[in-house]
Chain A
Amino acid sequence: MPKDGGIGASSKRREDVRFLTGRGRYTDDININNQTYVHFLRSDVAHATIKGIDTSSADAMPGVVRIFTGADFEGIGSIPCGWQVTDRHGEPMQEPAHPVLAQGKVRHVGDPICAVVAESLEQARDAAEAIELDLEELPAVVDMKAAVADGSTKVHDDLTSNLCYDWGFVEENREAVDEAIKSAAHVTTLELVNNRLVANPMEPRVAVGDWNAGTDDYTLYTTSQNPHVIRLLMGAFVLGIPEHKLRVVAPDVGGGFGTKIFHYAEEAFCTFAAKQVGRPVKWTSSRSEAFMSDAHGRDHVTKIELALDADNNFTALRTETYANMGAYLSTFAPSIPTWLHGTLMAGNYKTPLIYVNVKAVFTNTVPVDAYRGAGRPEATFQLERVVDKAARELGVDPIELRRQNFITEFPYATPVAVEYDTGDYHATMDKLAEIGDLSGFEARLEESKKRGKLRGLGVNCYIEACGIAPSNLVGQLGARAGLYESATVRVNATGSISVMTGSHSHGQGHETAFPQVIAEMIGIDESQIEIVHGDTATSPMGMGTYGSRSLAVGGSAMVRAAEKVINKAKKIASHLLEASEADIELKDGQFTVAGTDKSVAWGDVTLAAYVPHNYPLEEIEPGLEETAFYDPNNFTYPSGAYCCEVEVDPDTGKVTIESFAAADDFGNIVNPMIVSGQVHGGLAQGIGQALLENCSYDENGQILSASYMDYAMPRADDVPFYEVDHSCQTPCTHNPLGVKGCGEAGAIGSPPAVVNAVVDALQRAGKDVTHIDMPLTPGKVWAAMNG
Chain B
Amino acid sequence: MTQVSMTVNGKAVSGEVEGRTLLSGFLRDSLNLTGTHVGCDTSQCGACVVHVDGVAVKACAMLAGEAEGAEVTTIEGMAKPDGSLSTIQQAFQDHHGLQCGFCTPGMVMSAAALLQDNPNPSETEIREYLEGNICRCTGYHNIVKAIMAAAGQDVSKIAAE
Q: Report if A21-B76 is in contact (Cβ < 8 Å); known contacts: A507-B101, A507-B137.
A: yes
User: How would you classify the secondary structure of chain B's contact residues: helix, strand, loop or mixed?
Assistant: loop
Please name the residue on chain A nearest to B83 by beta carbon.
A21
Q: Report if A507-B34 is in contact (Cβ < 8 Å); known contacts: A17-B93, A122-B20.
A: no
Interface residues of B in 1-51 (CB under 8 A from A): 18, 20, 28, 33-42, 44-45, 47
Interface residues of B in 55-99 (CB under 8 A from A): 74-76, 78-79, 85, 89, 92-94, 96, 98-99
Question: In the assembly, what is the distance between CA of A16 and CA of B104, in Å?
Answer: 9
Q: Are A201 and B136 in contact (CB under 8 A)?
A: yes
Q: Are A287 and B40 in contact (CB under 8 A)?
A: yes
Q: Are B136 and A672 in contact (CB under 8 A)?
A: no
Q: Are B41 and A717 in contact (CB under 8 A)?
A: no
Q: Are B141 and A722 in contact (CB under 8 A)?
A: yes
Q: Are A202 and B100 in contact (CB under 8 A)?
A: yes
For A, the interface residue count at a CB cutoff of 8 angstroms equals 62
Q: Are B136 and A713 in contact (CB under 8 A)?
A: yes
Q: A200 at the A/B interface (Cβ < 8 Å)?
A: yes
Q: Are A23 and B35 in contact (CB under 8 A)?
A: yes
Best-surrounded residue of B93, B108, B140 (most CB of chain A within 10 A): B140
Instruction: Select A677's contact among B37, B99, B136, B158, beta carbons within 8 Å.
Output: B99
Question: In the assembly, what is the distance between CA of A719 and CA of B159, in Å?
Answer: 14
- 1/0 per residue, CB under 8 A from A, across B94-137: the answer is 10101111111100100000000000000110111011011111
Question: In the assembly, what is the distance between CA of A10 and CA of B142, in Å?
Answer: 14
Q: B139 at the A/B interface (Cβ < 8 Å)?
A: yes
Q: Report if A286-B41 is in contact (Cβ < 8 Å); known contacts: A12-B94, A677-B138.
A: yes
Question: In the assembly, what is the distance between CA of A753 and CA of B161, in Å?
Answer: 21
Question: In the assembly, what is the distance between CA of A32 and CA of B40, in Å?
Answer: 23
Please name the residue on chain B nearest to A676 by beta carbon.
B161
Q: B151 at the A/B interface (Cβ < 8 Å)?
A: no
Q: A506 at the A/B interface (Cβ < 8 Å)?
A: yes
Q: A715 at the A/B interface (Cβ < 8 Å)?
A: yes
B28 — which chain A residues lie within 8 A by C-beta? Answer: 29
Interface residues of A in 677-713 (CB under 8 A from B): 677, 680-685, 707-709, 713
A343 smallest CB distance to B (angstroms): 28
Please name the residue on chain A nearest to B91 by beta carbon.
A20
A26 — which chain B residues lie within 8 A by C-beta? Answer: 34, 37, 102
B126 — which chain A residues lie within 8 A by C-beta? Answer: 716
For B, the interface residue count at a CB cutoff of 8 angstroms equals 60
Q: Are B130 and A717 in contact (CB under 8 A)?
A: yes
Best-surrounded residue of A257, A286, A675, A708 (most CB of chain B within 10 A): A708
Interface residues of A in 12-40 (CB under 8 A from B): 12-13, 15-26, 28-29
B112 smallest CB distance to A (angstroms): 12
Q: Are A24 and B35 in contact (CB under 8 A)?
A: yes
B85 smallest CB distance to A (angstroms): 6
Q: B150 at the A/B interface (Cβ < 8 Å)?
A: no
Q: Are B42 and A721 in contact (CB under 8 A)?
A: no
Q: Are A202 and B139 in contact (CB under 8 A)?
A: no
Q: Are A254 and B45 in contact (CB under 8 A)?
A: no
Q: Are B92 and A16 in contact (CB under 8 A)?
A: yes
Q: Are B100 and A255 in contact (CB under 8 A)?
A: yes
B93 — which chain A residues lie within 8 A by C-beta? Answer: 12-13, 16-17, 20
Question: In the assembly, what is the distance between CA of A684 and CA of B127, in Å?
Answer: 14
Please name the residue on chain A nearest to B109 by beta carbon.
A22
- 1/0 per residue, CB under 8 A from A, across B142-161: the answer is 11110000000000001111
Instruction: Select B101's contact among A252, A674, A724, beta carbons within 8 Å.
Output: A252
Q: A508 at the A/B interface (Cβ < 8 Å)?
A: yes
Instruction: Select A254's contact among B37, B92, B127, B160, beta carbons within 8 Å.
Output: B37
Question: In the assembly, what is the distance between CA of A25 and CA of B18, in Å?
Answer: 26
B123 — which chain A residues lie within 8 A by C-beta? Answer: 721
Q: Are A680 and B139 in contact (CB under 8 A)?
A: yes
Best-surrounded residue of B20, B99, B135 (most CB of chain A within 10 A): B99
A257 — which chain B residues lie within 8 A by C-beta? Answer: 136
B36 — which chain A residues lie within 8 A by C-beta? Answer: 22
B76 — which chain A residues lie within 8 A by C-beta? Answer: 21-23
Q: A509 at the A/B interface (Cβ < 8 Å)?
A: yes
A354 smallest CB distance to B (angstroms): 32
Q: Are B89 and A20 in contact (CB under 8 A)?
A: yes
Q: Are A254 and B96 in contact (CB under 8 A)?
A: no
Q: Are B161 and A22 in contact (CB under 8 A)?
A: no
B130 — which chain A residues lie within 8 A by C-beta? Answer: 715-717
Question: In the assembly, what is the distance between CA of A122 and CA of B22, in Å?
Answer: 12
Question: In the assembly, what is the distance between CA of A717 and CA of B141, in Å?
Answer: 10
Question: In the assembly, what is the distance between CA of A715 and CA of B44, in Å?
Answer: 11
Q: Are B139 and A254 in contact (CB under 8 A)?
A: no
Q: Report if A719-B40 is in contact (Cβ < 8 Å); known contacts: A21-B85, A673-B160, A713-B134.
A: no
Q: Are A722 and B131 in contact (CB under 8 A)?
A: no
Q: Are A202 and B45 in contact (CB under 8 A)?
A: yes
Please name the residue on chain B nearest to A727 by beta carbon.
B161
Q: Are B35 and A22 in contact (CB under 8 A)?
A: yes
Question: In the assembly, what is the distance between CA of A681 and CA of B37, in Å?
Answer: 20
Question: In the assembly, what is the distance between CA of A10 and CA of B94, in Å?
Answer: 10
14 new A-B contacts, CB < 8 A, other than A202-B37, A254-B37, are: A13-B93, A15-B101, A16-B98, A22-B105, A26-B37, A200-B136, A203-B100, A507-B101, A509-B99, A680-B139, A680-B142, A683-B139, A684-B138, A722-B141
Cβ contacts A to B, 10 pairs, < 8 Å: A201-B102, A202-B37, A204-B38, A254-B39, A673-B160, A680-B139, A681-B136, A685-B139, A716-B127, A717-B128
The 3 closest A-B pairs by CB, nearest first: A22-B35, A19-B101, A254-B102
